[in-house]
Amino acid sequence: DMGLMPKTLYSYQVSAVDAFGNESEKSNAVSVTTGFTTQYVIDENLAEKVGAWTVVTGSGYGSDYAWTPSTLTDTKSAKWTPSIEVAGYYDVFACWTIGADRPTDAKYTVVYDGGSVVTPVNQTINGGSWNLIASNKPFKSGTGGYVILNSGTAVAGKTLVADAVRFLYKSVYDYTAPS
């Protein structure tokens, strides 16, 4: 089925129709509850970029990544915004390609419901894999949360890589005030 709502109960019955249009009795109803997306992966081509970024094909998550020279201040950025179906606590990961010319203090900021956390990462190591940058952070449904990678690092001119981010559902987040 297409176009179903997440976490919604649906009921199904089956009947048979012969070549003359005669329909059998319907089967007993079977009820199922739809699930929801528990993982959101956003490649750099869907990130909102500010400033000049160069796309490199042939490597990286999804066979490409973007890079820009690091700067001493935050003049460029890449922002990944998921469309969360179900509010919950999520772990957030980032992926990058490694290289000797990468910054050792690339700043990933995770903005979630009620706050943000900045995680500096060393892009000279752990490339090509998902690296945890924020654990168990609350996100409401919708597009209010995001991850942003800023160009400001301690050393200008390094190759700052924006590749992909991943949001992984962990548990329920009930942000409704008690009645």
Tens digits of pLDDT across the chain (179 residues): 666 666 778 888 999 999 999 999 999 989 887 777 789 999 999 999 999 999 999 889 989 999 999 999 999 999 999 999 889 999 999 999 988 999 999 999 999 999 999 999 999 999 999 999 999 999 999 999 999 999 999 999 999 999 999 999 998 887 777 77
Model pLDDT, residue 4 = 65
Model pLDDT, residue 147 = 98
Task: For residues 179 and 175, give the distance between their C-alpha atoms in angstroms, rounded to a whole number.
Answer: 12
Model pLDDT, residue 37 = 79
Model pLDDT, residue 104 = 96
DSSP letters, the chain, are: --SPPTT-EEEE----B-TT--BPPPPPPEEEE-----EEEEEGGGSEEES--EEEESSSGGGEEEEEE-BSS---EEEE---BSS-EEEEEEEE----TTS-S-EEEEEEETTEEEEEEE-TTSSTTS-EEEEEEEEE-SBS--EEEEE-B-SSTT-EEEE-EEEEEEEEE---PPP-
